[in-house]
């Protein structure tokens, strides 16, 4: 695997092996990677909160707005993972992220799948389906946050 080793990938880093080979070349500095993933998570959280307010009945159900948020979350869900490459420790991410990168990758896959399902549910315009898919997505967020994000 010449290409991989040329890019400094470790065989143990399953998450990176599954990523585009250009991934770790995207961040010149560790701080860039941290800012990138934090920005993706911040926008994701903001739009999860918007849908959450609708699901909880705290905001009116505007199907178009929910669809816009869900589409954005689905897009954003794919972004952060390439920014957890070797040498990018820091921010709110616990060191465990880099020790258990396969578990993180599995959690990321669940989140991306749930976000795609939420997007599909939002397109249906059916609030009950949205509630269910939103709850499932929130669980995938929480699972990783509990284990891998500093309070």
Instruction: Report the chain's C-alpha Rg in angstroms.
Output: 17
Cα angle value 119/124/129 (rounded, 5°)? 80
Is residue 127 a contact point for its own copies (CB under 8 A)? no
Is residue 75 a contact point for its own copies (CB under 8 A)? yes
Binding its own copies (rule: CB under 8 A), the pick from 17, 79, 112, 116 is 79
Is residue 11 a contact point for its own copies (CB under 8 A)? no
Q: Which residues in 48-74 are b (16+ Cβ under 10 Å) and which e?
A: bebbbebbeeeeeeeeebbbebbbbbb
Is residue 18 a contact point for its own copies (CB under 8 A)? no
Residues that bind its own copies (CB under 8 A): 20, 22, 25-26, 32, 35-36, 38-40, 42-43, 46, 50, 59, 62, 65, 72, 75, 79
């Amino acid at each position: 695997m010449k290409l991989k080793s040329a890019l400094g990938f470790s065989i143990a880093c399953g998450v990176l092996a599954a990523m585009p080979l250009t991934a770790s070349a995207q961040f010149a500095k560790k701080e860039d990677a941290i800012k990138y993933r934090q920005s993706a998570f911040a926008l994701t959280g903001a739009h999860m909160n918007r849908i959450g307010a609708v699901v909880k009945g705290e905001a009116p159900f505007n199907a178009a707005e929910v669809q816009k948020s869900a589409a954005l979350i689905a897009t954003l869900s794919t972004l952060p993972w390439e920014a957890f490459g070797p040498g990018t420790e820091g921010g709110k991410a616990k060191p465990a992220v880099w020790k258990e990168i396969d578990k993180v990758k599995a959690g990321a896959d669940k989140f991306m799948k749930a976000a795609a399902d939420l997007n599909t549910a939002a397109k249906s315009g059916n609030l009950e389906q949205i509630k269910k898919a939103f709850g499932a997505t929130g669980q995938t967020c929480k699972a990783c946050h509990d284990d891998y994000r500093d309070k």
